């Protein structure tokens, strides 16, 4: 399709939800959106752009918790990363697992390691950590202390 | 028909007792529900990575998985290079592809052996692993270690392939031709293997796309994705190879895809060796730092696309390092493939995804015990699988794959 | 050498217990049984149940979840048995020692009789290690930990005594 057309199509689909767009190279594009636009953006990528959901990455930063959704457009050798930011005080996002099965596990992982609450997730429970892991202690957050750890 | 709960104690390598389980709920002989629980292998590598510098992180990342031990480092260095716009010399690209393809061959042979074991043909296991040893010899010659080669670094590779070693690598490729043809012909022709794998554990194309399945698991269902072709990395843009796909998505197709991929790997390595004989230059661009930025690296591991994301702030450590192994996307597809099948087929269906369980975090099954349920372990599941093979042999008179007459001829 | 120890030096039944391993050691153990090294010709076989085991091979760091399972399993082992740690992970935890999911060195709750370091140890190293163990048993230099008194499982472990400095 060509990267220019792809960018145009995504920009049009996002409309006001497009906060910023950066084309790092001809293979990597980074787009910022507000948290409330996660579901519609994911539908746009999955259904309209027919992109493949690769994975999502959560990052604890000073400004808040950043969540990036990585989408691959295999036919065009392009990876589009859609980024949003939630606050530490209220780290909540809409789950996309109901229409994007591929995202089910990673949302569970981001909840247990970073404390992001995914609204309407079909099966939210621990994925990697033991079920008796202390509540509210998220290992990938920068304020996580080793003294919080569970001793079996 | 009573409801039984079966706990396979142990994952694929049910030869080894490990604290990972798939829990199958069974009614009669049919699997009606599958639980997958992870966590027994979680070592917190992403967090550990933040305390290591970019070169140390490669050694850490290598030990995510012992079988795809060059795939993770390769994706990781590519992410670092993407983040910092680091150049990689051409010679290093060919070495990267060659080592990656050698790994693909040994990984697929490993899987083939285990698949044979689960169906009840230990001879296939022994043959496949015997020839796998030859591949490990060559990897030891090139890198100094049979596994965990330590070949990758941001900016290139750690070791060059000596001109004097190239004939040995070519000799290996020669040596592998006959055994691979033997495996291919056996799988394609043997009626017993057909009976055990055709129509078993079908993953439809729609489901493969919905789950984001990768690698041979996806390609067997007709989803033609391959990071070597779609997101060219290392030297793949300069190499000629085919992406192998099948249509039905059953265990048979997954087997065929893996076997035919090994032939493609041989083609690729041969092209790399030819290039390495003429392309001169350094194998490392020796970057001194990684510029602030973020990068994504993908590589087609034997199990599918490996994804690494690196964020750098200009210091010598990653701010964030995200690792996603292909099995993270492939293992959930078991929900679709195992349900409705028989319990005798469960082991081979679960194995067909070739879960690098250490990559994914191990599959475990939490059991909610109902009173009076039978509990079976992985050994029982394998026994069921072998019993099915025996039964088919008796009913049909087929003997299954037999050793060729001149088995010692090409030693 | 009494008859019980004697049994440990012939036709070994080997049970592998992997806990959070990258599986390289596990594959090298299996490699030792395949045609190139072929330990099966000495009567060494992998068994499926810990109750049949003469030798327990442990690999991996045994994270928080795996450690519980390992402790449960080891209680089912029938004496005498020899515990061998394969690879660097059960010896020291290697680079995973600072992880949030690291538990403690396996040797603190299971008496390990022999360590075969390496990452992974080559099958030759594993064979050499097992031979050393057998010779030690025959000469009496090695007494399996399960026969020594008291076993570490009888000792109450104090959580802070894990020996790992906290990283805050």
Q: What is the pLDDT of residues A41-95, one digit of tens each?
A: 999 999 999 999 999 999 999 999 999 999 999 999 999 999 999 999 999 999 9
> Does the CB of C163 have a partner CB in chain A at under 8 Å?
no
* A102 contacts B309? CB cut-off 8 A: no
What range does the domain containing B99 cover?
Answer: 3-396
B401 in any annotated domain: no
Closest CB to A146 among C64, C103, C167? C167
Bin C38: left if φ > 0, else alpha if -120 < ψ < 50, else beta. Answer: left
DSSP E strand stretches across B11-56:
22-27, 30-36
Per-residue pLDDT of B207-256, as tens digits, reads 999 999 999 999 999 999 999 999 999 999 999 999 999 999 999 999 99
pLDDT at B378: 65
- Decide if C135 contacts C3 (C-beta within 8 A): no
The per-type count for chain B, helices as H runs and strands as E runs, is 16, 8
Cβ-contact B92, C50 below 8 angstroms = no
CATH number at residue B300: 1.10.645.10
Query: How many helices and strands in chain A, by DSSP H and E?
Result: 3, 7
CB atoms within 10 A of CB A24: 17
Distances C71 to B19, B25, C111 between C-alpha atoms, Å: 11, 27, 11
pLDDT, position B374: 56
DSSP secondary structure letter of residue B121: -
Residue C1 pLDDT: 54
- In this prediction, residue B410 carries a pLDDT of 52
Q: Which CATH architecture has domain A3-139?
A: 2-Layer Sandwich (3.30)
Sorting pLDDT into bands at 50, 70 and 90, what band is C8? Answer: confident
- Which residues, 6 or more positions from A44, have their beta carbon under 8 angstroms from its beta carbon? A10, A13, A14
pLDDT in tens, B142-169: 999 998 889 999 999 999 999 999 999 9
State the maximum Cα–Cα separation within chain C, in Å, rounded to a whole number.
52
- Chain-chain contact of A146 with C168 (C-beta, under 8 angstroms): yes
DSSP strand E in B154-285: where?
A: 156-157
Contact B203, B213 (CB under 8 A): yes
Mean pLDDT of chain C: 82
Written as six digits, the tokens of C128 are 């050499």
Tell me the nearest-neighbour CA distance from B297 into chain A, angstroms: 10
Domain ranges of chain A: 3-139
User: Are A55 and B324 an interchain contact pair (Cβ–Cβ within 8 Å)?
Assistant: yes
Q: How far apart are CA B333 and CA B352, in angstroms?
A: 11
Residues B361-407: tens digit of each pLDDT: 332 222 233 333 555 666 677 788 889 999 999 988 888 777 666 65
Between the alpha carbon of residue B152 and those of residues B155, B233, B267, B322, the distances in Å are 9, 14, 22, 18
Partner residues linked to C58 by β-bridges: C17, C85
- Residues contacting B62, CB < 8 A, separation 6+: B69, B70, B72, B73, B148, B149, B150
Per residue in B3-35, pLDDT (tens digit) is: 555 554 444 344 344 444 667 777 777 888 887
User: With bands split at pLDDT 50, 70 and 90, how would you rate the model's confidence at C66?
Assistant: confident
Q: Has residue B160 been placed in a domain?
A: yes
Residue B361 lies in a domain: yes
By C-alpha distance, the chain B residue nearest C102 is B43
Task: Please give the tally of structural domains in chain B.
Answer: 1
Total Cβ atoms within 10 A of residue B84: 22
- For residue A31, pLDDT over 90 is answered with yes
Residue B72 belongs to a domain:
yes
Looking at residue B188, its pLDDT comes to: 86
**ipTM exceeds 0.90:** yes
Residue B224 DSSP SS3: coil
| A11 to chain B, closest Cα gap in Å | 22
Q: Tell me, yes or no, whether B410 lies in a domain.
A: no
**Cα distances (Å, whole numbers) of residue C1 to B36, C55, C112, C135:** 47, 18, 20, 12
Using a pLDDT cut of 70, give the percent of chain B over it.
87
């Amino acid at each position: 399709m060509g990267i220019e057309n792809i960018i145009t199509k995504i920009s049009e689909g996002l409309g006001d939800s497009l906060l910023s767009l950066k084309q790092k190279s001809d293979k990597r594009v980074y787009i910022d959106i507000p948290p409330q636009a996660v579901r519609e953006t994911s539908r746009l990528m999955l259904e309209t752009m027919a992109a493949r959901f690769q994975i999502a990455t959560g990052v604890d930063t000073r400004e808040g918790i950043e969540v990036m959704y990585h989408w691959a457009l295999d036919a065009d050798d392009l990876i589009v990363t859609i980024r949003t930011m939630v606050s530490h005080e209220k780290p909540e996002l809409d789950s996309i697992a109901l229409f994007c099965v591929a995202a089910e596990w990673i949302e569970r992982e981001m909840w247990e390691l970073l404390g992001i609450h995914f609204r309407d997730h079909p099966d939210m429970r621990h994925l990697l950590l033991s079920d008796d892991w202390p509540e509210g202690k998220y290992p990938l957050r920068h304020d996580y202390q080793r003294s919080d750890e569970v001793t079996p | 028909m009573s409801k039984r709960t079966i706990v396979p104690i142990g994952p694929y390598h049910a030869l080894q007792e490990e604290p990972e389980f798939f829990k199958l709920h069974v009614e009669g002989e049919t699997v009606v529900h599958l639980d997958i629980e992870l966590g027994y292998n979680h070592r917190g590598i992403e967090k550990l990575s933040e305390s290591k510098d970019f070169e140390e992180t490669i050694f850490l990342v290598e030990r995510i998985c012992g079988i795809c031990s060059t795939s993770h480092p390769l994706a990781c260095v590519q992410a670092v290079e993407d983040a910092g716009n680091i150049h990689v010399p051409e010679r290093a690209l060919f070495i990267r592809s060659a080592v990656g393809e050698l790994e693909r061959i040994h990984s697929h042979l490993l899987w083939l052996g285990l698949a044979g074991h689960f169906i009840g043909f230990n001879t296939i296991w022994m043959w496949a692993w015997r020839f796998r040893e030859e591949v490990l010899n060559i990897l030891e010659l090139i890198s100094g270690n049979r596994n965990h080669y330590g070949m990758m670094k941001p900016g290139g590779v750690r070791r060059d392939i000596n001109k004097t070693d190239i004939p040995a690598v070519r000799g290996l490729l020669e040596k592998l031709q006959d055994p691979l043809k033997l495996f291919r012909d056996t799988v394609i022709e043997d009626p017993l293997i057909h009976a055990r794998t055709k129509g078993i554990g079908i993953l439809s194309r729609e489901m493969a796309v919905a789950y984001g399945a990768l690698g041979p698991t996806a390609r067997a269902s007709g989803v033609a994705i391959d990071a070597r072709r779609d997101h060219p990395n290392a030297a793949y843009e300069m190499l000629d190879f085919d992406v192998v796909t099948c249509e039905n998505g059953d265990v048979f197709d997954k087997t065929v895809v893996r076997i035919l991929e090994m032939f493609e790997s041989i083609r690729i390595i041969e092209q790399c060796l030819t290039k390495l004989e003429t392309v001169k230059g350094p194998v490392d661009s020796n970057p001194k730092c990684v510029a602030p930025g973020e990068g994504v690296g993908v590589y087609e591991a034997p199990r599918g696309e490996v994804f690494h994301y690196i964020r750098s702030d200009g210091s010598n450590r990653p701010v964030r390092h995200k690792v996603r192994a292909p099995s993270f996307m492939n293992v959930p597809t078991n929900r679709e493939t195992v349900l409705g099948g028989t319990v005798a087929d469960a082991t081979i269906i679960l194995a067909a995804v070739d879960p690098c369980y250490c990559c994914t975090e191990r599959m475990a099954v939490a059991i909610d015990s109902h009173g009076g349920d039978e509990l079976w372990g992985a050994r029982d599941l394998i026994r069921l699988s072998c019993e099915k093979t025996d039964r088919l042999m008796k009913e049909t008179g087929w003997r299954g794959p037999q050793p060729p007459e001149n088995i010692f001829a090409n030693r | 050498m009494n008859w019980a120890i004697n049994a440990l030096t012939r036709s070994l039944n080997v049970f592998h217990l992997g806990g959070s391993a990258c599986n390289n050691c596990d594959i090298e153990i299996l490699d030792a049984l395949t045609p190139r090294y072929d330990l099966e010709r000495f009567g060494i076989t992998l068994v499926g149940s810990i109750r049949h085991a003469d030798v327990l091979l442990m690999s991996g760091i045994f994270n928080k979840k795996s450690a519980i399972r390992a402790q449960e399993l080891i209680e089912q082992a029938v004496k005498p048995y020899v515990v061998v740690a394969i690879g660097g992970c059960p010896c020291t935890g290697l680079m995973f020692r600072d992880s949030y999911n690291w538990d403690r060195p396996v040797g603190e709750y299971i008496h390990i009789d022999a360590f075969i370091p390496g990452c992974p140890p080559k099958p030759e190293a594993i064979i050499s290690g097992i031979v050393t163990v057998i010779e030690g048993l025959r000469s009496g230099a090695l007494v399996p930990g399960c026969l020594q008194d008291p076993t570490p499982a009888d000792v109450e472990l104090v959580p802070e005594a894990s020996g790992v400095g906290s990283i805050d």
